Amino acid sequence: MRRGVLSFFAAAVGLFAIGDAARAANATLIEAAKKEGEVVWYTTLIVNQAIRPLKEAFETKYPGITMQYSRADDSPTALKLLNEAKVSRIQADIFDGLYNMVALQRAGLITPYPPANFAQYPTELKDKDGYWIAILLYVFAPGINTNMVPPAEAPKTLEDLLDPKWKGKMAWNTSSVAGGPGFVGNLLLSRGEERGMEYLRALARQQIINVEASSRTILDQVISGEFPIGLMMFNHHTVISARKGAPTVWLKIEPVPVAFDAISLLKDAPHPNAARLLMEFLTSEEGQHVLQKSDYLPALPSVPAMVPGLRPEDGGFKATYFYPAEVDAQMPHWSKIVADLFR
């Protein structure tokens, strides 16, 4: 038998062996998770839109394991876990968020766990040591009312936003990454402090309308005609609304700021095996498809967005990624700039 043929058969046997080992490891994890019987997830995601579909899919795939959840925003979730750790009563197994894992990692409350398909996720969407991995993306962009701003006349660049005709016609919220602080962060990270601040001082003269509401609420106000442009809208929200007949599109003004929701495993998880199994599910193609069908942007590149072009890799646009440690360190600075220049 020729050497090439022998090499082929040797490689094939090796692949089968790897496959058998992976299946055995997975079966062992499933059996251990079933003995624990449940997994508890502290989540920031919308319950009806994401968590209930994920719970149904996970429990259907793994009968005998119940997925419990508790929903709160980033900061309350971190505070709750820190308080539980103080009395040695951690209740959750995994949690998700944008940057709350930084404080919890600092406190020694999370442990690395790279899921089986860790290598399939881009470098930008995972911690190199496995402390967190993204499950979905948030892409922020201006959203317009197309009845008030014909797309052909809409701003195309950041400099276009400085045109006097948009003075007093743009809105954002002032208290989150999906608002003024995120817009500021994008400018400072992409242009540097000096050039970024020069632009922001010019933008401040445009009299941005500050709205103390969520990005989704501001987009609804744009759609209803309260103002023509909402800055820092979730781009997939404009697609969801346009599907329903709303007069809105998002503007691909580069660099586009991108954040993500990431999951982490708690070091003292009461149900560690079920927690790992849930993380495997959430990062798998199957779990990512559930998020896609729930109108989120999946983080796994092989699972398409709800429509093509919403993510940097399939939309071909430059992005500024907001990493957890960066947001944790810079958010006070970005928020102060918003307060000093835009309030």
Tens digit of each residue's pLDDT (9 = 90 or more) over 241-250: 999 999 999 9
Q: Give residue 255's pLDDT band: very low, low, confident or very high (50, 70, 90).
A: very high
Please check the confidence at residue 9 and state whether its pLDDT lies above 60.
Answer: no
* Nearest to 115, CA basis, from 287, 268, 270: 287
Q: Is 172 a residue whose pLDDT tops 50?
A: yes
Q: 105 to each of 82, 112, 136, how far by Cα in Å?
A: 11, 10, 21
Tokens 């709160």 sit on residue? 72
Q: What is the pLDDT of residue 343?
A: 85
| Average pLDDT over every residue of 30-49 | 96
Q: Give the confidence band of 20 by pLDDT, cuts at 50, 70, 90.
A: very low
What are the domain boundaries of the chain?
Answer: 3-137+259-307, 138-258+315-342
pTM to 2 decimals? Answer: 0.90
* CA 173, chain centre distance (Å): 18
- Segment 179-222, tens digit of pLDDT: 999 999 999 999 999 999 999 999 999 999 999 999 999 999 99
At residue 327's C-alpha, the angle toward residues 39 and 280, to 5°, is 25
What pLDDT score was predicted for residue 12? 39
- Residue owning tokens 């251990």: 32
Q: What percentage of residues in the chain have a pLDDT greater than 70?
A: 93
Place of tokens 């989704």: 216
> What is the 3-class SS of 125-182, one letter each residue?
HECCCCCCEEEEEEEEEEEEECCCCCHHHCCCCCHHHHCHHHCCCEEECCCCCCCHHH
With tokens 């360190």, the residue in question is: 329
- At residue 27, the 3 state secondary structure works out as helix
Q: Which fold is adopted by the domain 3-137+259-307?
A: D-Maltodextrin-Binding Protein; domain 2 (3.40.190)
DSSP letter for each residue of 99-126: SHHHHHHHTT-EE----TTGGGS-GGGB
Mean pLDDT of 326-332: 94
* Helix (H), strand (E) counts: the chain: 12, 12
Domains 3-137+259-307 and 138-258+315-342 share a fold: yes
**303: which residues sit within 8 A by CB, 6+ positions away?**
285, 288, 289, 292
Write down the pLDDT at residue 25: 59
Q: Which residue has the higher pLDDT, 87 or 13?
A: 87
Could you tell me the pLDDT band of residue 252, with boundaries at 50, 70 and 90? very high
pLDDT at 141 over 90: yes
Question: Could you name the CATH architecture of 138-258+315-342?
Answer: 3-Layer(aba) Sandwich (3.40)
pLDDT (average), residues 302-313: 95
pLDDT at 302: 97
The H or E element containing residue 4 is helix 3-36
* pLDDT band of 258, cuts 50, 70, 90: very high
